[in-house]
Each structure stands twice: as structure tokens, then as C-alpha cells.
């Protein structure tokens, strides 16, 4: 302490910046009247070993408070306290007795601090409980910010891969859940290192891009409910409740001390890049862990509540377009800068390749909650020169009623296409004759993306994701089974477009299990062979189940974890998925950058796609049908050879009846060969292109009920 000397410091960059002889601290607070920097000697410390009150005449530039501490070394632990008016009726909630996290903190120590009962968010028993002004002060059960050295990691020349979206196959996974299961082969279970140990599996699967559920620091222990079956405390497993947007979650690291989590995250990214796999982060700028007026004060509330959050007309209360108590005021200039700084940090310092923005429509709301015609936040992300080649994917809706799939502002944004999800599910469920709508989805959803200049790859196609049934549960349950979430099965969607195929849940009936596997293959074939950017959920390739739970946000247990025994038990499904992914990669016809027109062009006399009914004629789209067939002409799919890709004929029969389909004549004197027929058993349903079977009858093919068939012209 005696070796520390305090100087004015500089306002930029924000956060704690290591210098040769000390650390510079910078913090924004417009309405705060004073700022106290507190330094701690250990993560569990109750009180600081040194407090320094910043002088606004010396340590303040504009709205930025700053100080340079000579003699302070890397991994120093610190927090802030900010004084100012406590007037909730005016949206001001300053309390100098609250410890506050630095919004720019790169790492947190004592990350399990919130296990303490006094730090669990609970609703006060009195309706005016949020008006009480606490004078209790203790840092014992509060995480500490770490002043990390972000330059000490050896990237070995690594840079973000930034694959073109049209070439990507996205795998949505949970860092912990992927390797934490007791039967997992990884040594460093549930960690960033566990992901590194899983790279060979991901490489063999063939995915190009790993999309991770939130890894920014969050409180796993904020859920107060218990599992009614086991009595165990439920947790925040998914992580959609961010505390520190710059800090990788320490509990996902093997070395949790100091810069350990930061360096392990970087190591994971570096090694994934070496294997040719991108990293995309699911990031949550729509709300924070501070909740509504009854929620805890952790950072933003105590720094400048009025600026960071959307407040109601009575600013004591929070506008809630996130469904989580508060909504970040994304289009305030200060908040816009914070978000851009954060995204740049993860790209420049952490080398990530892209972001999926949870409840992305909130990025387009003004401070009153109205949707803006030209939202500056959305435009700034898209046009930022540092982020320009970074993937930006919007969940184009929010919990406040906004739904912008196909209309999300900005020509660079890709979107999660839930219309693809629902219509593919409905088609293969077999009870809805919607072949005409499915035709639009498998060809890139031109109805959504063509008119504003976007391309098929801006549609992120998916059948399953973390939010909802897994692939196996989609074909095994008619209804959700969320009883173990402690919400009386009232949470989660009731509209799943699912079908149990004759029995609810697991069964020993081999016939039912066989049709479930076939339908799973149908769904995945439709996904991987459609125009657009495909994404699928961790474990779907081996038919992972969540026991019918379609909202497993709180299940940090085997309900959610990847069961590695399934790799062996469902080897046939895994092999099928590997072949599907390989097929997509090898044939640019499935990765076209432009929409299909149904017409010829300078490279071909005939149409690029032709539609057929079972009789071999163009379909009448006005007549409902459960059969869809189309011919893809591979001519000049890319300009490398005269006939650069094969032609394909796809037949999708979702009806309960076999269909004898008349086949079109292949172009250029070629013949049809069977590549995929999901009516065949494991190992026979997908032939390699070297062993594909020449069809004896080149004019007709029997497509069995609830089957997809893919023919290749050779």
C-alpha cells in the first residue's frame, strides 16, 4: 500500500489498462457525484486494503472518472463505489454503500460469490421494497474485478477465420455441457480445455463454426427455484443473464486464477482455428442480470441507471422488452459505444469470428421502446470498420412483441429463420399439406430476403436450437415435460410442431424407434440440403434427449449435458450426419450465393430448378400436397469447369402412403444414381458417391411413406 502513488490518469481507454509502471482506471458516470476506487488483496476480502476517492477537479474529464495508480501490478483486484442521488422516482439509484463491477472488467475473481443467500435476487415482501436505502456494505460475497494483462498470450499468428456464411455449417453448443458428463472422454470436463479435447470429434463431424451459448460472466446461482422431483437447487445453466460483458466465464476455465480464464478462452479459440473451426458467440445485450426495480445492484444500476436502461414514463420502473425485468437502452450514444467497444474486444483481443444477438430486435428500440426505422445501433454494428467481416446474426424478435424475421434492418445482417424451423417441422409431422410453403424455405426463403438485397445465406436455417425440443424429442413427444423446472410445467412453448409417433417418450417398441430415426434423418437432410446457412443443436447428431424438457435453461445436469455414450449407441445416426455435412461441403449446388430463379441464364438453357409432382408434371401449388420434388441443375454452380457440379433430384414424401414418382430425364446424357433413401436401415440409407447405386428403372422410383430420397446424376 505504501508503494502506491495516485495520479490524475487519462479517460481512455475505458476499464483497467496496464502500463509499464502501474494501472490506469477509467469509468463512466454522468450523474454520479463522486467515485471511490477500492483495492483488495484477495478475492474473498470483506474490506479493501486501500480506498481512493477520485477528485472531480483532477480525476474527471467530461463524464469519465479516471486515475492512474503507480506501483499497482497486473491481476490487481478492484471494485468501485459511486455516490449520487437516490431518487427512484427520477430513475436515479445511486448508493455509495453498493460495490459495483467495472463494465469493462476483463475478468472476475470470486466468481462463486453469489452462492451467498444474501446475494440471491428475491422480490421484497413489500411493494415499495425498492425504495429502501441500504447502508450495509460488504465485499465478502461480491466478485472482484481483475486488472488482467491482455497482451501476454501467444496467438502463434492466429486470426479470425471469417468463412463466407454460405460455406458455414453452425453447431450450437454449451461450453460446459459439451464435455462435463461423467462418461465424457475429456480430462478437463466442462471447460474451455474440454472443448479443445473435443476438436477431433467436431472435425470428424464436419462442422465449420461452433456457436457457443453465453460465455460472458453470469451468476449461475440466481435461480431460487428447486427441482420438485429431486429437491435440488436449480441453476442458471444457459447463461442469458450477463454480469460482465468483457469477461469470459471463470467457471468454464480449469485455471480460474487471475488471467487464467482469459488465456484459456484464447487457447480454445486458437486451437479451434487451427482445426479450421470458427467461434461464434451468443451475446446478450438486450438485458442484464440486474433485473427490475427489485433486482440487485451489481454495476450499471449504480453507475448511471437512467442512461443504461429503458425506464417507464414513471422512471422508478423498467421497460421490459426482454422478459427478464429490464431492457438495455441500446440506442443511447453512451450505450452504443459500450456495445461497439465490447464487440471489438471479442474480435480484436479474443479473435472470435461472429456473434448471434439474443432478442436482437431490442437493438432497434429507442429509449421509450419504440422500434426505430433506421436504428443507429444496428447500423453501427453492421458498418463498423473493425467488425465489417465479422458474422452478425440476429434473433430477429423480442419479448415485447417485435417480430422482424425478413425485415431486420440492414443488408449485412443474417437472421435465425424460425419460419424455416416451423414449416420443416410441420411438413415432416405429416399432418399439414404445406409442400408449397416448404418449397420457399428449402430454396433460401426468397419471400423474406430477396426484396432488400440479401442472399439465401442470410437465412440461418434450423430445426432445433437450445430453446425447444432436441431433434430426438421432436419426434418422441407430443407435449413438453418441464415439470422439473419448478414452474408447474407452465414455462416453455406449447407450440412445438412435434409428434411422438405412437408413444410419449422412450419406448422399447422397435418399430416406433425406427420411424423416429427415419424422421430425424428426414429433418436433418432437409436442413443440410437447403439453401441458406444451416445450424443444428449439440447432440442432435447422436439423438440426444432432454426427456421432453423444451426449456432446460435451469437444468445443469444430465438432462442438458452431452451424453457421450450416445456416440456409440447411435453411431448410425452420427455417420449419416457426417455424410450429409460432407455432401453439402462437396457440392456448391447446395451453397449457392444467389436465389434460384426457375429460369435459364447465360450458362444454361434450362431452369436452375424445376418443380415436379409425383406424376412428373409441374405441380399445381394451389392444391395442398405432402409430396415435394425438385430438380437442381448443377451447371455453373461455380465457374471452375464446364459442368462444375452434379445435377440432383430430391423427393420428399411426408404422407402416410408410398408414392411411385415419375422421374425427369437427367440432362447431358447422364443417369440417376441413388444417394439417399431414408427408408433403408442405418448404413444403407446413405451411399457414398463412389458406391451409389445406379437405378434400374430410370423413369420411376417408389418413395416410401415419410421418406426423403436424393438422386444424383452421373
149 catalytic residue (yes or no): no
Q: φ and ψ at 22, to 5 degrees?
A: 170, -160
CB atoms within 10 A of CB 428: 26
Residue 358 known to be catalytic: yes
CA–CA separation, 686 and 689 (whole Å): 9
Asked whether 198 and 157 are in contact (CB, 8 A), the reply is: no
Output the nine-digit C-alpha cell for 306.
Answer: 437512467
DSSP 10: -
Helix (H), strand (E) counts: the chain: 14, 30
Q: With H, G, I as helix, E, B as strand and everything else as coil, classify residue 156.
A: coil
Name the nearest CA neighbour of 176 among 188, 198, 191, 187: 191
CA neighbor of 611 nearest in space, from 602, 599, 594: 599
DSSP 251: G
Residue 186 CB partners (closer than 8 Å, separation 6+): 179, 193, 194, 197, 198
CA 292 remoteness from chain centre: 24
- What is the separation of C-alpha 607 from the centre of its chain, rounded to a whole number of angstroms? 37
How far is the C-alpha of 702 from the C-alpha of 159, rounded, in Å? 50
Locate all alpha helices (DSSP H) within 312-461, ordered by sequence: 333-348, 376-383, 418-429, 435-442, 446-449
Burial 571-608 (b: 16+ CB within 10 A, else e): ebbbebbebbbbbbeebbbbbbeebbeeeeeeeeeebb
Q: Which of 395, 423, 541, 685 is catalytic?
A: 395
Q: CA–CA separation, 34 vs 52, rounded Å?
A: 11
Whether 173 and 213 have beta carbons less than 8 Å apart is answered as yes
Evaluated on CA atoms 213, 325, 14, 249, the torsion sign reads negative
Q: Between vectors from CA 319 to CA 299 and to CA 246, what angle results, nearest 5°?
A: 30
The secondary structure of residue 319, as a DSSP letter, is -
The C-alpha atoms of residue 587 and residue 634 are separated, in whole angstroms, by 9
The rounded distance, in Å, linking the Cα atoms of 604 and 470 is 41
Contacts of 30 (CB under 8 A, 6+ apart): 63, 304, 307, 334
Q: What H or E segment, with its residue span, contains residue 260? A: helix 260-274
Catalytic hit among 197, 282, 358, 540: 358
Please choose, from the candidates 257, 272, 273, 213, the residue with its C-alpha nearest in 3D space to the C-alpha of residue 239.
Answer: 213
Distance in angstroms (rounded) separating the CA atoms of residues 220 and 217? 9
CB 196 within 8 A of CB 271: yes
Q: Quick one: which H or E segment has residue 37? A: strand 34-40
β-strand pairing of 209-212 with 278-283: parallel
Q: Just list the catalytic residues.
A: 358, 395
Amino acid at each position: 500500500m505504501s508503494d502506491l502513488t495516485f495520479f490524475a490518469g487519462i479517460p481512455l481507454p475505458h476499464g483497467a489498462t496496464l502500463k509499464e509502471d502501474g494501472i490506469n482506471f477509467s469509468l463512466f458516470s454522468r450523474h454520479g457525484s463522486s467515485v471511490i476506487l477500492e483495492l483488495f488483496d484477495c478475492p474473498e476480502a470483506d474490506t479493501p486494503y486501500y480506498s481512493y476517492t477520485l477528485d472531480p477537479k483532477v480525476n474527471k474529464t467530461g463524464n469519465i472518472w479516471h486515475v492512474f495508480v503507480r506501483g499497482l501490478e497486473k491481476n490487481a483486484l478492484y471494485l468501485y463505489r459511486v455516490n449520487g442521488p437516490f431518487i427512484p422516482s427520477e430513475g436515479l439509484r445511486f448508493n455509495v454503500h453498493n460495490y459495483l463491477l467495472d463494465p469493462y472488467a476483463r475478468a472476475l475473481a470470486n466468481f462463486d460469490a453469489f452462492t451467498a443467500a444474501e446475494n440471491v435476487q428475491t422480490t421484497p415482501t413489500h411493494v415499495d421494497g425498492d425504495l429502501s436505502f441500504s447502508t450495509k456494505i460488504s465485499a465478502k460475497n461480491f466478485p472482484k474485478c481483475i486488472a488482467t494483462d491482455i497482451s501476454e498470450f501467444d496467438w502463434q499468428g492466429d486470426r479470425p477465420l471469417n468463412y463466407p456464411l454460405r460455406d458455414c455449417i453452425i453447431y450450437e453448443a454449451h461450453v460446459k455441457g459439451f464435455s462435463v458428463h461423467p462418461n465424457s472422454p475429456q480430462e478437463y470436463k466442462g471447460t474451455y480445455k474440454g472443448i479443445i479435447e473435443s476438436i477431433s470429434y467436431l472435425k470428424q463431424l464436419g462442422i465449420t463454426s461452433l456457436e457457443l451459448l453465453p460465455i460472458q460472466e453470469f451468476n449461475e446461482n440466481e435461480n431460487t427455484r428447486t427441482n420438485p422431483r429431486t429437491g435440488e437447487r436449480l441453476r442458471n445453466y444457459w447463461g442469458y443473464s450477463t454480469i460482465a460483458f468483457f469477461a469470459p466465464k471463470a467457471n468454464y476455465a480449469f485455471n480460474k486464477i487471475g488471467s487464467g480464464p482469459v488465456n484459456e478462452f484464447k487457447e480454445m479459440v486458437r486451437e479451434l482455428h487451427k482445426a479450421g473451426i470458427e467461434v461464434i458467440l451468443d451475446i446478450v445485450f438486450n438485458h442484464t442480470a440486474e433485473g427490475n426495480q427489485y433486482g440487485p445492484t451489481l454495476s450499471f444500476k449504480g453507475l448511471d441507471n437512467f442512461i443504461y436502461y429503458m425506464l417507464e414514463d414513471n422512471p422508478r420502473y423498467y421497460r421490459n422488452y426482454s422478459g427478464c425485468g429490464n431492457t438495455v437502452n441500446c440506442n443511447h450514444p453512451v450505450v452504443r459505444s459500450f456495445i461497439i467497444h465490447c464487440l471489438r474486444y471479442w474480435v480484436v483481443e479474443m479473435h472470435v469470428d461472429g456473434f448471434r444477438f439474443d432478442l436482437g430486435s431490442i437493438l432497434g428500440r429507442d429509449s421509450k421502446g419504440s422500434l426505430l426505422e433506421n436504428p443507429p445501433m444496428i447500423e453501427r454494428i453492421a458498418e463498423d470498420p473493425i467488425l465489417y467481416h465479422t458474422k452478425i446474426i440476429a434473433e430477429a424478435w423480442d419479448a415485447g412483441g417485435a417480430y422482424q424475421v425478413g425485415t431486420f434492418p440492414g443488408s449485412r445482417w443474417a437472421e435465425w429463420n424460425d419460419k424455416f424451423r416451423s414449416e420443416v417441422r410441420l411438413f415432416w409431422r405429416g399432418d399439414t399439406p404445406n409442400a408449397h410453403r416448404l418449397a420457399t424455405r428449402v430454396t433460401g426463403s426468397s419471400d423474406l430476403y430477396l426484396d432488400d438485397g440479401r442472399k439465401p445465406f442470410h437465412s440461418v436455417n434450423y430445426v432445433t436450437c437450445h430453446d425447444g425440443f432436441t431433434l430426438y424429442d421432436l419426434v418422441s413427444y407430443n407435449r413438453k415435460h418441464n415439470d422439473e423446472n419448478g414452474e408447474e410445467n407452465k414455462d416453455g412453448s406449447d407450440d412445438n410442431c412435434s409428434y411422438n409417433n405412437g408413444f410419449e417418450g422412450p419406448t422399447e417398441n422397435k418399430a416406433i424407434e425406427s420411424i423416429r430415426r427415419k424422421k430425424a434423418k428426414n429433418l436433418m437432410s432437409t436442413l443440410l440440403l437447403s439453401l441458406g446457412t444451416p445450424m443444428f443443436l449439440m447432440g442432435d447428431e447422436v439423438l440426444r434427449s432432454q426427456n421432453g424438457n423444451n426449456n432446460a435453461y435451469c437444468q445443469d445436469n444430465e438432462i442438458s449435458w452431452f451424453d457421450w455414450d450416445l456416440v456409440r449407441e447411435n453411431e448410425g445416426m452420427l455417420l449419416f450426419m457426417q455424410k450429409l455435412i460432407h455432401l453439402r461441403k462437396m457440392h456448391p449446388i447446395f451453397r449457392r450465393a444467389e436465389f434460384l430463379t426457375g429460369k435459364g441464364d447465360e450458362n444454361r438453357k434450362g431452369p436452375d430448378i424445376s418443380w415436379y409432382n409425383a406424376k412428373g408434371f409441374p405441380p399445381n401449388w394451389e392444391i395442398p400436397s405432402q409430396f415435394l420434388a425438385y430438380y437442381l441443375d448443377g451447371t455453373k454452380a461455380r465457374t471452375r469447369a464446364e459442368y462444375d457440379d452434379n445435377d440432383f433430384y430430391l423427393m420428399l414424401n411426408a404422407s402416410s402412403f408410398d408414392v411411385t414418382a415419375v422421374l425427369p430425364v437427367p440432362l447431358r446424357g447422364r443417369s440417376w444414381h441413388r444417394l439417399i433413401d431414408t427408408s433403408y436401415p442405418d448404413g444403407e440409407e446413405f451411399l457414398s458417391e463412389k458406391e451409389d447405386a445406379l437405378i434400374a428403372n430410370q423413369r420411376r422410383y417408389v418413395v416410401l411413406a415419410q421418406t426423403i430420397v436424393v438422386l444424383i446424376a452421373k
